[in-house]
Every structure is written in structure tokens, then in C-alpha cells.
Amino acid sequence: MIEVKLHDIGEGMSEGEILQYFVKVGDQVDMDQPLVEVQTDKVAAEIAAPQAGIVKAIEAKPGETIAVGTTLIVLESEGAMRPSEISHTAVAVAEAPPKTEKKAPARSLQRVLAAPYTRKIAREHGIDITDVVGTGPGGRVLDEDVYAFVQQQSAPEKTPAVEKIVPAPVSPQTSTKTMPFTGRRKQIAKKMTESIYTIPHVTHFEEADVTALIAWRKQCKEAGRAFSLSAYFVKTLALTLRDFPIFNAELDEEQGEIRLHEYCHIGLATEAKEGLIVPVLKHVEQKSLLEIDQEMKVLTKKAQDNELSAAQLQGGTFTVSNVGPLGGIGATPIINAPQTALMAIHKTKRRPIVTANDEITIGDVMTMSLSFDHRVADGATAVAFTNRWVTLLEDPTILALELI
């Protein structure tokens, strides 16, 4: 017998929620065939069969949250049939009456190709995804296929005309709608609760005049070197973290040490259909603005399409949350533990600015909020950190000097 267990498929993972099984008891499976889909706090992942065999038992139910190391499925290695099984099969074949009428072919036992989010849509509508005909590459079931199937199933059947009956008026009643608190939403809640109750959060607010930065970016675009402001934010934060490594660190209380990372892996807080997710842009300190801009677009698209790999969600040392395009002038973001800090970038507004010569001009002012772990860093250090970053934001020529 082989026990297929929930193994650690993500950094810091301790448990997962069972979304669905692709097999049932008695099924014969091949090596590497997906058996079950599990939702962790970061991704929906499939666990495959370690070798070929027959499913003898399923130990946990869909919707159940289980710890790492828990047995999910018990497999029996493939082998020759016992004599009694062979005899029984032979008798069954001998006694079977001849087929006289055509029957619909049995449904293929092959696994349906579909993204985890597509499967979720099917589950929420009570649809067996194997009944849906896929129109994507290789027969892959798309979101649109599921919605079309739902509409087809819910279409009213034509019935003979009958006398219209007007129902008696009923008194208005209040109603309450519900939505499932499962999957990524539940995992986000768990992680945020652990972070806020474990880390003593402090949030420092600051603002920067980014008028010169916006003008310089426009010049670069006209010269054929376009990049997003988000890419500039990430690059300059990496430079600032180099000068203040305490914010690019991780506290290990059990070992009694603070680990200062020499590399800079920036997490990009991204809003997706299933909830917040944080892909990680690795080695920002080694990349150019244009490289950062391109990789950020790729990671963001994958996050929104739920196509990120586990490796693309691991190893972050600092997180950036750019909510400026959505609006808002401030927030107190929750740290992505076990990291030490998170920088939230807020809306940029045109407003009056008093210059060093006491003159009033109109400029672009951006607000920011830095949440940090007060066990690791102090307020004065946080102010110095943001001041250094503001300098790079307000005068983009300094970036060129830093890279020489």
C-alpha cells in the first residue's frame, strides 16, 4: 500500500484545503497522474500519483482543511489479478447476453484540462466539469465554456401554452446572501490574522514630490525607452534597501537572530479574481529598469490568470503594494510575514507646493505608508529609510549616479 500525503508545496505551508478529487475508489491510475487539487495560502496545486496503482481509499473529504503530512489517498500497487477474480471475469463474459442495441460510449476517464479558477466556477454552479465541452487548445475547458454550459442548462424548456396563473401577492421578506469562505480567501484571512497578532506593526506615513520623475519618464518614453512608474519604484526601493538592510531582513526568534538578505526579492501585491496574491520579482538589484518593467508585466498577468508557479511565489524579502491607481491617500498595510516591512504606494495628486524659496507652484505629490516590524527596526530608522527613498523619487538623476 502507498499513502499519498499532503506535502509541503509552498514556502512556510502548514496546511491546505482539499478542492476536489480527480479519482474515486477503485480507479486505476498511472504514475504522475493528478489525483487531487489542494488550495494553499498561495496557489491551487495538484498532487500526482507517485506510481501506478489502484485507489483503495480516500481519507479526507473535499472542503476539508488538513495539515501537511496527512494521508489523502491510499494506493495499491498494480499486479496480476487473483485466480478468483479471473474466474469471476470469465464467467461474467460467458453469461453476458449478446448486445442487440447500440449504447452511448462510456465517458473517457481522462482528466479534463482546465485551470483551477475554471474548476472553481464549475463547482460554484454545481456543474460536473467533465460534462463541459472545451473549446481551448487541446480541448481545454475555458471560463466561457462553463458559463455557456450553465446558460444552456438553465434555459427554459418549451412547454405547451397554459392558462396564466397570477400568484397571490406576498408580503416582502428580508433575505441574506452568502458566499463561500474557502480557498484563497480563507488562507489570506489566516495568514493576515497570524501576521497582525504576531508582529508589532508600526506604520510611518510620508509624501514625495514626483513632478520631476513624471517629466523624466515622459522624456524616456519619447526616446523609445518606456517603463512604468511601478518599475521605477521597485528599482529605487532595492537601492534604498541596500542602504538600510534591516528592512530587507527576517527575524528568527527561535534561533535568536535577524537574517539580513544580501539579495533583494520584491513581492508585488496583486489583486486577482480569487483574492490578493504576491508574486516575487527575484534579484531586483541586478536588473535594469526595462527588465524590471517587463518581468513585472509577466508576473502580474500570470497572477491575474492564476498561472503562477510555486517558485514564483516564494522567497520574497520585501513587499510593495501599489494601490495608487485605485485611489486612497493612506493605509496601514499588514506585513507579509516573515518579512520585516511592506511599502504601500498611494494616489498621486496635483496640488500646491511651497518651494525652498517660499514660492508656490503646482506639482504632483504622492503619498506612501511603510509598515514595519518594531521588534526588528525603530521609528527613527524607518524615517531615515523613507527619506532616502523620497530623495530618489524626487530627483531621478540621482538614480543614474547610483548606477555608475
* Res. 63: pLDDT tops 70: yes
Q: CA-CA distance, 128 to 46, in Å (whole number)?
A: 18
Residue 66 forms beta bridges with which residues? Answer: 16
Nearest in space to 234 (alpha carbons), one of 303, 312, 296, 325: 296
What pLDDT score was predicted for residue 45? 79
* Res. 103: pLDDT tops 60: no
Answer yes or no: are the C-beta atoms of 93 and 109 closer than 8 Å.
Answer: no
Q: Looking at residue 122, which CATH number applies to its domain?
A: 2.40.50.100
In a domain, 187, yes or no: no
* Res. 346: pLDDT tops 80: yes
Nearest in space to 368 (alpha carbons), one of 203, 205, 236: 205
Q: CA-CA distance, 343 to 320, in Å (whole number)?
A: 5
Mean predicted confidence (pLDDT) in 142-157? 78
Instruction: State which residues form the domain around 220.
Output: 201-403
DSSP state for residue 290 in the 8-state scheme: H
Host H or E run for residue 276: strand 275-277
Q: Are residues 398 and 339 in the same domain?
A: yes
3 state DSSP class of 280: strand
265 is catalytic: no
Q: Are residues 237 and 317 in the same domain?
A: yes
pLDDT exceeding 90 applies to what percent of the chain? 47
Residue 3 forms beta bridges with which residues? Answer: 74
Ranked by mean pLDDT, the top range of 84-98, 151-165, 168-182, 388-402 is 388-402
Answer yes or no: are the C-beta atoms of 361 and 355 closer than 8 Å.
Answer: yes
Q: Are residues 119 and 250 in the same domain?
A: no
Q: Are residues 149 and 206 in the same domain?
A: no
User: Angle at CA 390, nearest 5°, toward 303 and 260?
Assistant: 65
237-252 residue pLDDT tens: 999 999 999 999 999 9
Answer yes or no: are the C-beta atoms of 159 and 77 closer than 8 Å.
Answer: no
pLDDT higher at 174 or 348: 348
pLDDT higher at 15 or 95: 15
- Long-range contacts at 373-380 (CB < 8 A, ≥ 24 apart): 373/199, 373/200, 373/201, 373/251, 373/335, 373/340, 373/341, 374/200, 374/201, 374/202, 375/199, 375/200, 375/251, 376/246, 376/249, 376/251, 376/258, 376/340, 377/246, 377/247, 377/340, 377/341, 379/202, 379/204
In a domain, 170, yes or no: no
Strands annotated E in 292-358:
318-322, 341-354
In a domain, 189, yes or no: no
Burial 319-349 (b: 16+ CB within 10 A, else e): bbbbbbeeeeeebebbbbbbbbbbbbbbebe
Residue of 7, 88, 283, 374 marked active site: 374
* Res. 362: pLDDT tops 90: yes
Confidence grade of residue 30 (pLDDT, cut at 50, 70, 90): confident
In a domain, 178, yes or no: no
Q: Are residues 223 and 127 in the same domain?
A: no
Q: Are residues 229 and 363 in the same domain?
A: yes
* Stated length of the chain: 404
Mean predicted confidence (pLDDT) in 376-385? 97
Q: Are residues 246 and 361 in the same domain?
A: yes
Q: CA-CA distance, 198 to 251, in Å (whole number)?
A: 12
Q: CA-CA distance, 132 to 2, in Å (whole number)?
A: 33
Residue 350 forms beta bridges with which residues? Answer: 364
Helix-then-strand count for the chain, H and E: 9, 18
